[in-house]
A and B are shown apart, each in its own frame.
Chain A
Amino acid sequence: MNKLIKSLYTLAIVAAVLSLYNCQPQGPKQALTGGAAEKVYVPPGQYDEFYSFVSGGFNGQMLVYGIPSGRLLKILPVFSVFPENGYGYSEETKPMLNTSHGAVPWDDLHHIALSTTKGEHDGRWAFANGNNTPRVARVGLSSFRTEEILEIPNSGGNHSSPFLTENTEYLVAGTRFSVPMGANKDVPINSYKENFKGSISFIKVNQETGRMNIEFQLRTPGFNYDLSRAGKGPSHGWFFFSTYNTEQAHTLLEVNASQNDKDFIMAVNWKKAEEYLAAGKAKVERANYAHNIYDEATHSATSTMLNEVMVLDVTELKDIVYFIPCPKSPHGTDVDPTGEYIVGSGKLAATMPVFSFTKLQKAIADKDYEGDFEGIPVIRYEAALHGEVEKPGLGPLHTEFDNNGNAYTSFFVSSEIVKWNVKTLEILDRVPTYYSVGHLSVMGGPTAKPYGKYMVAYNKITKDRYLPTGPELAHSAQLYDISGDKMQLLLDFPTVGEPHYAEALPASLIMDKSIKIYKLEENKHPYAALGEGKARVERNGNQVHVYMTAIRSHLTPDNIEGVRVGDDVYFHLTNLEQDWDVPHGFAIRGALNAEILVMPGETQTLKWKPLVPGVVPFYCTDFCSALHQEMSGYIRVSPAGSNTPLKFSTGEED
């Protein structure tokens, strides 16, 4: 009997200790539930189920990961130079980074948008925004290259971008910061309310070529535009933008932009805007912005400066814009797969409102307004409200959706993801993230038909998740299985730069379209040497053009003489290989830019300025064959003004 009581005691103590443990914040060593390793294991030689396109944040690039393994497949340069393959350094790619400020070699890439048709992924393009120097980019999903970059004029920072309409008719670029617009921009900062304006660009996408142009800009009240999502299905034709700083503060925004109980979600009827544009209601405004296009036939980019935009003022032209009050400094505004529900994530709010598109339309029809803001109707909050998610967590940021009517919202402050039902607003599950999640990405999460299955949390803080690497740590992503009722943590994986948003699509949608080589027969580069017999060196004043070929394992020509100090030497390297995954590289001692990496059948150019007389080696930088170390050559540099004859050869005996 005594014994029994003793063991009961022990049990009780153990239970108490265990329950104590449960109350502790869950640390990095939290045990995984069973089967996690199996679910993320992709055996050698096999492929991942999803491609995930991940923003690189302050590294300005796009990252391609395989899901569920979390393997990094590619760093794809977009807004930043990339010495690894010469992007932004080669003569062909320099124009891609041209802007109205000149060449800007860096940006802050936040959001990815994969092209859709009828709200579903179609595997054509990935779009991305440059947050700092306002730009949008288009990446081809068969070349995995940046094919186009368009600068956005009248923008103070392109954060609310590049979200897409249902059929990729438009992508948007909403200014994060309002700035003075019009002829005189030299105004006192404290004249914010009077002089500062918002600007939302609607960028039309050519359905055949993908080429982008700014079809029109909306001139909007001056405050901050944060994020946006297009309507779909019944709400196709509308766009929803979250805003903050409706206080119109211009200093200490941390406090001064957090005063109002509610800011706005701005609902834009873009079909109405199109009508005004067609009716000639837009004003032509002078502007200055760059449009950069990479041509896959010439393997070269061109940059064109454009000088006007069409502007529609939404305070003058009625029925384009309505404001929906939303508590408190909303960050994400996300539209569910049916297109009926719009979720506003007020960063500082205790509840999360879900608005109904049907109710919004009725409120507009009934003019159920609670007032106006600079002449724009403000809908009565309750009139547009479907309901509120009660006590969801602290600091909601973003919401994605699965294929079963559920939503997943990230909470930065309470460091968790909460699953809830869109219709009933009932909270179903919550999981911790490590630590402080920003964006989250459900497979196909923003589309009309999410694939579900997996969800990735992109965390802002890493701390103790990996072996320490000094003060700077790789940002941590976490993969969850969301196929069951309960979300299950499967995997941590490190990322590059600072991922913000990411979007994933099934590998089967694009993997067979991936380009393997550039056909020599289709190479239209003006300096291509299509065959070793075409390799040569030509002088034109102080420019020396080397038409060079590469094939395993020699460069032609590999002995060059007659170059002088003060010349500009252009190495135009054509890779004569026609087999998949046989790039050749080119580097020369003392190059002040980078090396170049040239894909099979491609031509790329490295500019080099010799500074002192002598003989300088050059070589292939990509290990290409057993005789890769032999793939090299010499160029002789003579003093300025000398008469060394121009000579070039390969394999010539003395």
Chain B
Amino acid sequence: MRLILITIMGLVIFSCAPDKPQNQEGLPGQSSKNSAVEDILTDPTKGIGAVKSVTLNSPLEQDRISRGLAIYEMKCSACHRLDDKRVVGPGWKDITKNRKPEWIMNMITNVDVMLDQDPEAQKLLELCLMRMPNQNVSIGDARDLLEFMRQNDGEK
């Protein structure tokens, strides 16, 4: 019975996803629909993408923070402020307290799939009315950004 339910849920999600041209599915860094279903069923709070689990260290890794800051300034600061004020996108204050690290990194590195299929990401899209752009950030760079966000949220 449960298997059937899962299958049905899977089908529902498939049919809700907008049709994409065939060639876009294979883009590097963007996970396929199949694993998207698995991701949501596994842990909806982790988002959808290649990042399944993140190890956080304490104290913070300083070299990651400085790299994360540089990436923030080049690729993110045009839309995200470091306080809680929303400009184009939401401010980053307390993001690491409200979201799992996996969700944050999946949102950064797999944004098109997240905006199409992740309920939390879709809520943000409805709020901001601007699709977050794919800024071509690698998973390693996203990890550095995460460390910078943790520092921004007052972690030591």
**A576 with B136: in contact, given A554-B88, A625-B131 (CB under 8 Å)?**
no
Question: A578, B134: Cβ atoms under 8 Å?
Answer: yes
Question: B136, A45: Cβ atoms under 8 Å?
Answer: no
A329 interfacial contact with B, CB 8 Å: no
**A549 with B87: in contact, given A45-B21, A517-B136, A625-B131 (CB under 8 Å)?**
no
- Which residue of chain B is the closest to A601 with respect to CB atoms? B136
Contacts of A414 in B (CB 8 A): none
**Cα distance, A578 to B135, chains bound together (Å):** 4
A278 interfacial contact with B, CB 8 Å: no
Question: A551, B79: Cβ atoms under 8 Å?
Answer: yes
**A556 with B21: in contact, given A625-B131, A651-B87 (CB under 8 Å)?**
no
A307 to chain B, nearest CB (A): 43
**Cα distance, A551 to B79, chains bound together (Å):** 8
- Which residue of chain B is the closest to A579 with respect to CB atoms? B134
Question: A530, B130: Cβ atoms under 8 Å?
Answer: no
Question: A579, B77: Cβ atoms under 8 Å?
Answer: no
Contacts of A517 in B (CB 8 A): 136
Give the interface centre of B21, B74, B129, B133 by most chain A CB atoms within 10 Å: B74
Contacts of B135 in A (CB 8 A): 577-579
Question: B74, A530: Cβ atoms under 8 Å?
Answer: yes
B78 interfacial contact with A, CB 8 Å: yes
Question: A531, B79: Cβ atoms under 8 Å?
Answer: no
**Cα distance, A554 to B136, chains bound together (Å):** 20
A602-654: which have CB < 8 Å to B? 625-627, 651
Contacts of A531 in B (CB 8 A): 73-75, 77-78
Contacts of A530 in B (CB 8 A): 73-74
Question: A579, B74: Cβ atoms under 8 Å?
Answer: no
Out of A551, A578, A625, A627, which one reaches B136, CB within 8 Å?
Answer: A578
**A576 with B129: in contact, given A45-B22, A517-B136, A519-B136 (CB under 8 Å)?**
no
A563-602: which have CB < 8 Å to B? 576-579, 582
How many chain A residues touch B (CB < 8 A): the figure is 25
**Cα distance, A551 to B135, chains bound together (Å):** 10
Fill in one digit per residue for B61-82: 1 if any A CB lies within 8 Å of its CB, else 0.
0000000000001110111000
A553 interfacial contact with B, CB 8 Å: yes
Contacts of A214 in B (CB 8 A): none
**Cα distance, A390 to B96, chains bound together (Å):** 83
A520 interfacial contact with B, CB 8 Å: yes
**A556 with B22: in contact, given A578-B134, A625-B131 (CB under 8 Å)?**
no
- Which residue of chain B is the closest to A535 with respect to CB atoms? B78
Out of A556, A582, A627, A651, which one reaches B133, CB within 8 Å?
Answer: A582
A533 interfacial contact with B, CB 8 Å: yes
A218 to chain B, nearest CB (A): 48
A532 interfacial contact with B, CB 8 Å: yes
B133 to chain A, nearest CB (A): 5
B95-145: which have CB < 8 Å to A? 129-131, 133-137
B87 to chain A, nearest CB (A): 7
Contacts of B74 in A (CB 8 A): 520-521, 530-531, 576
Question: B75, A520: Cβ atoms under 8 Å?
Answer: yes
**Cα distance, A244 to B22, chains bound together (Å):** 53
Fill in one digit per residue for A516-556: 1 if any B CB lies within 8 Å of its CB, else 0.
01011100000000111110000000000000010111101
Chain A interface helix/strand/loop/mixed: loop
Chain B interface helix/strand/loop/mixed: loop
Question: A552, B73: Cβ atoms under 8 Å?
Answer: no
Question: A532, B136: Cβ atoms under 8 Å?
Answer: no
**Cα distance, A294 to B77, chains bound together (Å):** 30
**Cα distance, A533 to B77, chains bound together (Å):** 7
- Which residue of chain B is the closest to A551 with respect to CB atoms? B78
B46-73: which have CB < 8 Å to A? 73
A631 to chain B, nearest CB (A): 11
Contacts of B134 in A (CB 8 A): 578-579
- Which residue of chain B is the closest to A626 with respect to CB atoms? B129
Give the interface centre of B22, B73, B88, B136 by most chain A CB atoms within 10 Å: B136
**Cα distance, A554 to B80, chains bound together (Å):** 13
Question: A626, B136: Cβ atoms under 8 Å?
Answer: no
Contacts of B129 in A (CB 8 A): 626-627
**Cα distance, A45 to B22, chains bound together (Å):** 8
Contacts of A533 in B (CB 8 A): 73, 77
Out of A45, A576, A579, which one reaches B78, CB within 8 Å?
Answer: A576
Contacts of A553 in B (CB 8 A): 88, 130
Question: B73, A577: Cβ atoms under 8 Å?
Answer: no
Question: A552, B130: Cβ atoms under 8 Å?
Answer: yes
**A532 with B78: in contact, given A578-B136, A579-B136 (CB under 8 Å)?**
yes
Contacts of B87 in A (CB 8 A): 651
**Cα distance, A578 to B132, chains bound together (Å):** 11
Question: B22, A576: Cβ atoms under 8 Å?
Answer: no
Contacts of A626 in B (CB 8 A): 129-130
Contacts of B22 in A (CB 8 A): 45
- Which residue of chain A is the closest to B133 with respect to CB atoms? A579
Contacts of A579 in B (CB 8 A): 133-136
Contacts of A556 in B (CB 8 A): 78
A426 to chain B, nearest CB (A): 45
**Cα distance, A626 to B130, chains bound together (Å):** 7
Contacts of A578 in B (CB 8 A): 75, 133-137
Contacts of B21 in A (CB 8 A): 45
**Cα distance, A323 to B19, chains bound together (Å):** 63
B150 to chain A, nearest CB (A): 21
Contacts of A45 in B (CB 8 A): 21-23
**Cα distance, A531 to B79, chains bound together (Å):** 11
**Cα distance, A44 to B14, chains bound together (Å):** 22
**Cα distance, A520 to B133, chains bound together (Å):** 14
**Cα distance, A520 to B78, chains bound together (Å):** 14
Question: B130, A625: Cβ atoms under 8 Å?
Answer: yes
Question: B133, A577: Cβ atoms under 8 Å?
Answer: yes
B138 to chain A, nearest CB (A): 11
**Cα distance, A138 to B123, chains bound together (Å):** 49
A222 to chain B, nearest CB (A): 55
**Cα distance, A520 to B71, chains bound together (Å):** 10
B126 to chain A, nearest CB (A): 12
Question: B130, A549: Cβ atoms under 8 Å?
Answer: no
Question: A549, B78: Cβ atoms under 8 Å?
Answer: yes
**Cα distance, A582 to B131, chains bound together (Å):** 12
Q: 25 A-B contacts, Cβ less than 8 Å apart?
A: A45-B22, A45-B23, A517-B136, A519-B136, A520-B75, A530-B74, A531-B74, A532-B73, A532-B78, A533-B77, A534-B73, A549-B78, A551-B133, A552-B88, A552-B131, A553-B88, A554-B88, A556-B78, A577-B133, A578-B134, A578-B136, A579-B134, A579-B135, A626-B129, A626-B130
Known: A517-B136, A553-B130, A579-B133. 12 other contacts (CB 8 A): A45-B21, A520-B75, A530-B74, A531-B75, A532-B77, A533-B73, A551-B78, A552-B130, A552-B133, A553-B88, A578-B75, A579-B134
Listed in ascending order, the chain A residues whose CB lies under 8 Å from chain B are 45, 517, 519-521, 530-534, 549, 551-554, 556, 576-579, 582, 625-627, 651
